[in-house]
Structure 1
Amino acid sequence: MIQAMIVEDEYFVRKGLITTLPWESFGIRIAAEASNGRKALELLAEKPVDLIFTDLIMPAMNGLELLRCIRQQYPGIHVVILTCHQDFHYIQDTLRLGALDYIVKTELETGNLEEALQRITDRIKGSATGRSEGPGTATVWLDSDETLLQSHMDEWLKLYWVIRDDDFEQLRLRLETMQPPIPKLRKVMHSLIVEVNRLIGMGDLHEWLNRSENVDNWEEWRTYIARFRRAVGEKLRSSSYPEYVLLSILDSVEYMKTNVDSKVTQSAMAAKARMSRGYFSKCFRDIAGKPFPEYLKELRIGRAKLLLIQSGRHIADIAVDCGFQDYRYFSRQFKEETGFLPSEFRISAGERGRNP
């Protein structure tokens, strides 16, 4: 059982953390609590623990000062930072000082803490088996790390990080905290670039892919992702639309990626965005890089391809689920996009699976 301490100056927040979370389900026992860094150090002198969750902003001694003292006096103790969005400029310092991870406090409110606790306990187990804690230097990459990384990269595809500085800082720091090996980092960046190009049509895809292959460390990655963000931002802003319009179109794109049935129409999405149909159509084409009907058709065909490969459902049912009420029209559209009829595509995909 991992012995842990909560360091948090707000009494009710601290007690809430201790009493309401399923610590023991993750092999963690809260053995001590403190209201600031100074009291935490006094307790550690009497009863050392394995893991400390600490707020950053506290009286007497803040979380950053506490982390420095722990690194000097108790280097074997893992430290997780509890932070708010506005504390991002502190998080980089905590990671450099060796913090194991950080939890944004909104995760506590949205029910995502269990995922965070699993990530933290996996990291502690990984370090016990020889995993290095420095970003990008991990010698062990766990299955749970891979699952978490793939889930995290889905957040990059939402593109809000291109517009909002806080979103970018949060995603960047989270990825660095995960410590994927550099070859793995290149692979996920490759996928991100390809998908962003598909979403908004960057135009210089191969140049960005080639640059990603030359990333050899985290410092180079920070420079690379900042430049890529700037290029994507310039593409999105090239139409000179105000930020609220850019975000509204991004909201529409995100909605369409998970909703492709027949109820998703240009008129419906325009109403959802509180725009006239004509203005929405123009904004969408300029920002997303292609007309709304073409964009929606590509999403629907992409969804149909997945269902044809991953399920044995009737093709007519798949067509309806993907927004095509007429099976014959669906077949024509599918062949126009892929070169195969849906039935041919399913057979071909099955043969490729059997003969990789």
Structure 2
Amino acid sequence: MATVNWKKFNMEVVADASNGQKGWEMFLEHSPAVVITDIVMPEQNGIELARKIKQAAPATKILLLSCHRDFEYAQEGIKVGASGYILKTAFQDDEFEEYLKQFTDEIQKSEEREQDSNGPEVLIYEIDEKWPEPIQKAVLLITKDLSESYSSVDVANEVGLSRSHFSTLFSKSVGESFHTFTEKLKINAASELLETTSLTLQEIGERVGVHDGKYFSKWFKKCTGCTPSDYRLTKRRITSDNLTPNP
């Protein structure tokens, strides 16, 4: 795999792990779209790693590398959601690259469907008609596209008020400061995207106006008390538990 031309498949290697536990930690940190793993690994085998990944991010493509004696394990891996497996004793570049091409095509189609159905992130917020007209306009502007990060000065200029007058009027009308209001909107939207989509942390950050992936993780943890990856995993686990029939 060291000779694979990853760029040919619009891919890059974001992490390399020496055992299953480290692989899980790397997955939580990077949220890759594709995971390639040995079945036999120390600390945590590839089947358990695949199971945890599919619970956290069902859209992730997983390719298992197996020895002949691991054939039953490979079948179990397919059952938990792996996309396929390759026998290491008969490894061929053509077979490996065919999987990569398949993954690239599937990911591209999924992104196109998601883009067609979602478009830009738009949050509908109920406007209180009792608010002064400048504040109504301000809230409409903020919620129209959360990928834009407006400062209070920007919005004040848009609605024809000085910054100090706008800030005072906004807090009095809405019941919280402009900063608190916009941050809550972005956190709620990010949480929804983490729970209901397979978008990467970078993509979610861009949709809510936090365009640096590393800063997005720090910002989300500061606001919620947990990392985006942990939040996504917890929510997916709760959903999975709720779907499990009672004995």
Q: Which has the higher contact order (CA 8 A, sep 6+)?
A: 2
Query: TM-score of the superposition, structure 1-length normalised?
Result: 0.31
Query: TM-score of the superposition, structure 2-length normalised?
Result: 0.44
Max Rg structure: 1
